[in-house]
Amino acid sequence: MILLNIFLINIIVGILFQLLIEVKSQITNVKPSLRNAHTATFINDKLYILGGVSTDFPNGIPNPPFLYLDVSNSFDTNNLEWHDLTNINNIPPSKYAAAIKGGANNSTLIIYGGQNSTNLAIDLVDTFDTQNNIWNTPNIPGIPPSGKVSIIPIVDYNGLMYLFGGYSPELSIYTNEMFVLDTINLSWKNISSINAPSARVQYGAVFLPNNIILYMGGYNQNVGPLTLNEVYLFDTINDIWTTKITYGSIPSPRYSFSSVLGLDGQSIIIYGGSGHNNGFINQEDSVYVLNINNFNWYIPKISGQMPSSRTFHKSVLIGNYMVITFGEGYTPETESDILLLDISNNEEYVWTKSFNIKNTTPFSPLPSTGPNPNPSSSPAAVIVGAIIGSVIGIAITIGSFFLYKWRKHVKKQDDVLPTSGDEEDQKIIQIPSEKDSSRAISSDHSQEILLISGNTKSSVQQNVDPNSSKNEAISEVIVQK
Ligand SMILES: *[C@@H]1O[C@H](CO)[C@@H](O)[C@H](O)[C@H]1NC(C)=O
Ligand SMILES: *[C@@H]1O[C@H](CO)[C@@H](O)[C@H](O)[C@H]1NC(C)=O
Ligand SMILES: *[C@@H]1O[C@H](CO)[C@@H](O)[C@H](O)[C@H]1NC(C)=O
């Protein structure tokens, strides 16, 4: 009986604690700064965003650097509730890193490589256990990839993370090697590069239901943006590469676009990216579909308000939506950090602002985290239930009162102090471009390539008005001279 009491007290304390965390994460709701070259990973109803490059801050580190969006309920992209995770983030900021969902319980955020804020390569795997909110940097046996930067990772059904190509700042090379990280056993494996496509970064990659990874496009120093008139299939069962020629309305060569598998499992949808001369892809030219039965490309019919095109963004498939996160090519005053393309109807996709949970196919079942809600009809349980109920009721009442006060307080502050960064951005964007006014927002962003070879960094490129530091460049590509 005493044991039972202790057990019940533990449950009550546990619930109160959870409630506290709930209220706290509400309060830490933030308006994130712009960012690109970040990671976006969907794990158990949460969309985690980590790192990237921010042009809002001199050190280039976005604020907050680690956050998530709760996707367990319907939401509107004009009113996103971000949750700041910076206070439990103890790994250094990274950009151009690779991240997937993996681990033994399939709910660990696995991050490999990228660069730190001084552009040195990060040669580590970091893990974030999303059930216990714990970071780890495990020691991993085997040889890690020579490519560290701008890899687009894929994870298979067995928790194997495929890391193809990438750029090595130490060696100043682009690679076309394929490495595999077993995210469950935590070991490295170097596998065959025979018949692999040429070295590249910032390509498109999609895991197909038949255990084949489809790779396409990207960038390397010899060619620039790589063609989409062929795609490359990596068979993860037999470790064999093959090349397929594509047909139809082939998209122009591009990199830093995003790609997801269509809901029919028969098509690949790509969005955005950069093309020749580091130009943004035009908005009318930003969405293409590849039929993977006949390798035919086509431009899908899309209704809804077409957003400006983005590059160096990340997309994930959630329910019926291709969810596009951050990137460059938009202003936060006019467009949300999150774009939603409803792809449920193959005949007509829809750009939408509302994520409707009812329209989504059910998510994979959640592993239970909190105290086990064992239903029991014993009188003791009923009484305890009632106590817990009223405690929660009181706590919620008090909680919402403080939340209300706090919101009111914040609102007042907002009225007094407009955020200066946002205002400045607005002004920059409204400067009309002399060179090409038809490109609207895109043309206002002069492009710049950061040439990084070894530790030296020089900035070169066309269209940059030296007097206009405000028209500061955004597009950052890792290039070897
Ligand atoms: C992890 O979950 C995904 C679905 O989100 C599933 O397809 C995959 O097979 C799972 N991986 C493992 C190792 O259980
Ligand atoms: C991981 O290791 C266990 C034994 O430690 C083994 O049974 C299992 O097959 C390994 N998994 C993979 C994917 O290699
Ligand atoms: C990985 O394997 C390839 C051959 O498939 C080899 O050329 C390369 O040197 C290996 N890389 C490392 C780091 O072992």
Q: Which atom of ligand 1 is nearest to the CA of 42?
A: 5
> What per-residue confidence (pLDDT) applies to 58?
87
> What per-residue confidence (pLDDT) applies to 265?
97
Q: What is the mean pLDDT of residues 32-60?
A: 95
> What per-residue confidence (pLDDT) applies to 322?
98
Q: What is the mean pLDDT of residues 113-134?
A: 95
Ligand 1 geometric centre to CA of 199 (Å): 29
Query: E-assigned strands of 165-253?
Result: 167-168, 173-174, 178-182, 187-191, 204-207, 212-216, 219-220, 224-225, 230-235, 240-245, 247-248
Q: Whose CA is nearest to atom 1 of ligand 3?
A: 190
pLDDT at 202 over 90: yes
Ligand 2 geometric centre to CA of 8 (Å): 38
pLDDT at 271 over 80: yes
Which helix (H) or strand (E) segment holds residue 29: the answer is strand 29-30
Q: What is the mean pLDDT of residues 265-284?
A: 94
Say if ligand 1 is within 6 A of residue 420 CB. Answer: no
pLDDT at 314 over 90: yes
Ligand 1 geometric centre to CA of 157 (Å): 5
Q: What is the mean pLDDT of residues 202-209?
A: 98
- Higher pLDDT: 87 or 212? It is 212
Query: Cα separation of 470 and 457, whole Å?
Result: 20
Say if ligand 1 is within 6 A of residue 364 CB. Answer: yes
The residue among 139, 129, 244 whose CA lies nearest residue 185 is 139
- Higher pLDDT: 449 or 334? It is 334
Q: Supply φ then ψ for residue 372, to 5 degrees.
A: -70, 115
pLDDT at 475 over 50: no
Say if ligand 3 is within 6 A of residue 192 CB. Answer: yes
Taking only the tens place, the pLDDT of each residue in 435-455 is 222 222 222 333 323 222 222
List of domains in the chain: 29-376+447-479 (2.120.10.80)
Of 26-30, 246-250, 257-261, 347-351, the poorest mean pLDDT is in: 26-30
Residues in CB range of 47: below 8 A, 6 or more apart = 40, 41, 68, 69, 71, 316, 318, 323, 325
Prior bond to 64 cis, omega within 30? yes
Say if ligand 1 is within 6 A of residue 185 CB. Answer: no
Site to substitute for ligand 3 among 179, 193, 234, most atoms within 8 A of C-beta: 193
Of 209-218, 365-374, 389-398, the poorest mean pLDDT is in: 365-374
> What per-residue confidence (pLDDT) applies to 386?
44
Tell me if 287 sits within 8 A of 262, measured CB to CB.
Answer: no
Say if ligand 3 is within 6 A of residue 239 CB. Answer: no
Say if ligand 2 is within 6 A of residue 187 CB. Answer: no
Write the burial class of residue 373 (CB in 10 Å: 0-12 exposed, 13-18 middle, 19+ buried): exposed
Taking only the tens place, the pLDDT of each residue in 164-176 is 999 999 899 999 9
pTM for this model (two decimals) = 0.73
Angle between helices 2-27 and 379-416 (to 10 degrees): 20
pLDDT at 316 over 70: yes
pLDDT band at 12 (very low <50, low <70, confident <90, very high): low
Which helix (H) or strand (E) segment holds residue 422: the answer is helix 420-430
The residue among 73, 209, 93, 105 whose CA lies nearest residue 154 is 209
Q: Is the dihedral of CA 91, 93, 97, 102 positive or negative?
A: positive
pLDDT band at 461 (very low <50, low <70, confident <90, very high): very low
Q: What is the mean pLDDT of the chain?
A: 78
Strands 349-352 and 302-303: parallel
